[in-house]
Structure 1
């Protein structure tokens, strides 16, 4: 069983989560977030597509296909609408963009190393982080209405949670010959990359 509570708790303290949850995030940092998060959603889509190909059961194929559908459908539509509505444009330096790209780089390198097992573990880390903080932020009620609230609500909702549960089941079902330390490194490495990614929006 994967245990990484300390690393998850640390990631949940990142500035981006605090400011979105408190309703204090400024327009430009969130515009920056829209830019880089849309790019990572495309990476996640490719990773779930790889998992469809390598899935060990039809149930796993279906779970990853549903994730692809959500990413290229609902989430892609969100970014299109949010960019049109948001009052500020993204403004990121090359250094910030390079920092944000570490998230995709880590996930893709893990996938090349560990295939299906790595994909399930890294995406489980990312989606657990998102469901946890978005659910808390949604319940707290300080998220500003509009695109930010829409994004938070999407990740607090049951369909997204069902996807997280599917990832958890996939990680729990990984073959016993995959060392726990390797799975732990994928999970915690993804959380660290998520923190660097979100910090990049502030410069």
Structure 2
């Protein structure tokens, strides 16, 4: 990697193929164009709320391992957002949604691989892994939500909008900064594996809602 290129930008470029695949899954296409049916979105609400709990654990662990006070504050703000704004979103969205989630056990196990990948990476790779996998996930969400054309009004539009404004967009930028500052002792290839691995897990996660 060229020294002048920030590591976060390099990851996005080097992982462009996997990122494009993640952006082209059925769920993202249907939400972006307002064609998703009620049951798949109910399934999504269920598994995404579960992953938000994992994201909260990851950011909490990052607070403990953060290399600076500023980094601690950034991760603490992420935990606050997940446990307040996003938690409230799921509570109101599930209450308003017309059908319940219906996922069989194989689909649930498929969706659970996203949390398992992220938490396993954190256990083996520590802080560098945490910021890299979360950057992959949140960069994906900011990208597709900013491109969405006509999400249905109500909870779906609210979810898309949440990922196109602060504090979420600020958090994505903060994660990019944390990735840029990962010590060079952590090889680029390792960051790439975490980044693309998380995107591949996102693909399986989003596909799981269709059974």
TM-score bucket (shorter structure) = over 0.9
1:185 corresponds to 2:196: no
Give the secondary-structure state (helix, strand or coil) at the position aligned to 2:182.
Answer: coil
Q: Return the match for 1:27 from 32, 35, 38.
A: 38
Q: Return the match for 1:17 from 4, 28, 35.
A: 28
Aligned pairs for 1:61-80 (under 5 A) are 61-80=72-91
Q: Return the match for 1:195 from 193, 203, 210.
A: 203
Structure 1, residues 12-66: CA drift from partner, whole Å, max 9, x if none? Answer: 0011000000101000000000000000000000000000000001110011000
Structure 1, residues 78-135: CA drift from partner, whole Å, max 9, x if none? Answer: 0000000000100000000000000000000000010110000000000000000001
Aligned pairs for 1:53-68 (under 5 A) are 53-68=64-79
CA apart distance, 1:159: 1.9
CA apart distance, 1:7: 1.4
CA apart distance, 1:165: 0.3
CA distance in 1, matches of 2:82, 2:121: 20
Aligned pairs for 1:1-203 (under 5 A) are 1=7, 2=11, 3-137=14-148, 140=149, 142-203=150-211
* TM-score of the pair, normalised by structure 2: 0.94
Are 2:81 and 2:167, in contact at CA under 8 Å, matched by a contact in 1?
no
Aligned alpha-carbon RMSD (Å): 0.6
CA distance in 2, matches of 1:60, 1:15: 35
CA distance in 1, matches of 2:104, 2:185: 43
CA distance in 1, matches of 2:141, 2:20: 12
CA apart distance, 1:158: 3.0
CA distance in 2, matches of 1:128, 1:37: 16
- Runs of 4+ in structure 1 over 4 Å off: none
CA distance in 1, matches of 2:68, 2:86: 26
Matched pairs, number: 200
CA distance in 1, matches of 2:168, 2:19: 18
